[in-house]
A and B are shown apart, each in its own frame.
Chain A
Amino acid sequence: MSHQYQAIGWNRQKRVYDLVLLAGISTYLALFLAPSALLFSTATAETLIIRASGSAAFLLLHLILCIGPLCRLQPAFLPLLYNRRHLGVITFLLGAVHGTFSLIQFHSFGDKNPLVSLLISNRNFASLPDFPFQQLGFLALIILFLMAATSHDFWLRNLTPPIWKSLHMLVYFAYAFLVAHVTLGLLQSETNPVLVVMTGSGLVLVLGLHLAAARHENRIDRNPTPSTSDGSIDVCAVSEIPEKCARVISVNGERVAIFRYDGKISALSNICRHQNGPLGEGRIINGCVTCPWHGYQYLPESGASPPPFTEKVETFQTAIVNHRVFLNPTPHAPGTPLRPSVISEPEKFA
């Protein structure tokens, strides 16, 4: 969390994350290049670099797409999400290396500009086996560039989280273009069944995890929240909310997080102002609701970030009646302080 722009707000977690990432990619490239150079002695250095960087970028994109649903299903994966943007930038860089060497290898020896050659040399759009697959890879690279270029919080703040997130959902189209690029390119010329199995397994993994996460999320949204005659919602028993944690319910299609802390109950919008992370899946740390994605913090009574930070979320009035927590579903303006409901002594141990 930062109240001013920096190129990168480095901290220990980001350094460790990036070091592990760079070590992993270096190891992969070394393990790919060394045996390939021995096994395919006639292959040029450009060919080996094209294969190594392309496969690394494709694998990393799978990892990136799996992190989101994995975190929905199992919070133990949350540390992977913390610096996912750096994964995205590195994926773009590997894709750019793959694209550049492909242009050199396949399009730089003619009388046309290599980029023009890439776009016009194959126009067999009606044939699956001869489809211009390189152009699909080029489209994916443009999307990855857009995402890498706008990955900084400067763009997140200026574009606003909904527009920024919409832009970054283009990653799914980049993935679709890359699956098509591989299926209509590599898998047409290479007959090794291992490549088919690996590409198919990746597709099943990405789609399967997203399906499982969608089912998990639907359960929260469809969970009926009984209303009382005065319109307030019967959330749950006080004892069902663990200390310093939240119960999340769906109110008119949007989620509300009801936190229990220090003998009190307060309710906030579940949506972090930073990247729309799920506040209700975070904990109260040092007296503040802390977003599990990037650590943005809010005071539970007011939904406002502690100074000098300026982020604010909506608050909701709560009440405790007969050991049960009730919520008024009308949101208050972001940052509006509301009196927390106090848990009486018998209810604390109920």
Chain B
Amino acid sequence: MIQPLRKYHRRILFLLGVLLPLLFAAGLLFRHKWPKENPSATLQTSAASADTSR
């Protein structure tokens, strides 16, 4: 009676054991690349604005 359920359980876990780590890794690999703050760009912008104000 319980044997088919155990087979079903084993197959689901095998499927998830393969798919979930792949999905997790792919999700991290292809995640949004947020632009990093560039301190030199900030300095240049500040210098440029300072020049303009002069």
Contact = CB atoms under 8 A, between A and B. Distances in A.
Given A166-B5, A254-B3, A203 B19 contact: no
Interface in B25-46: 26-28, 30-32, 34
Contacts of A199: 24
A253 B28 CA distance: 42
B1 interface: yes
Contact of B24 (A188, A189, A200, A255): A200
A70 interface: no
Contacts of B6: 217
Interface string A159-183: 0001001100100110110011001
A338 interface: no
Given A162-B1, A210-B13, A254-B1, A203 B8 contact: no
Contacts of A129: 30-32
A187 B20 contact: no
Nearest to B23: A180
Contacts of B9: 169
Contacts of A196: 28
A199 B8 CA distance: 26
B31 to A, nearest CB: 5
Contacts of B34: 191
Contact of A214 (B8, B10, B20, B28): B10
Contacts of B13: 172, 207, 210-211, 214
A212 to B, nearest CB: 12
Interface residues of A, number: 32
Interface string A191-211: 100001001100100010011
- Where chain B touches its partner, the secondary structure class is helix
A180 B16 CA distance: 12
Interface size class of B (residues with CB under 8 A): 20 to 34
Contact of A187 (B12, B17, B27): B27
Contact of A172 (B1, B3, B12): B12
A234 to B, nearest CB: 23
A271 B27 contact: no
A176 B24 contact: no
Interface of A: 128-129, 162, 165-166, 169, 172-173, 175-176, 179-180, 183-184, 187-189, 191, 196, 199-200, 203, 207, 210-211, 214, 217, 253-255, 271, 276
Q: What are the 10 tightest A-B residue pairs by CB atom distance, in nearest-first order?
A: A183-B27, A128-B30, A253-B3, A129-B32, A188-B31, A172-B12, A207-B17, A271-B2, A210-B13, A276-B2
17 contacts: A162-B1, A162-B2, A162-B4, A179-B24, A183-B27, A187-B27, A187-B28, A188-B31, A196-B28, A203-B21, A207-B17, A211-B13, A214-B10, A214-B13, A254-B1, A255-B2, A271-B2
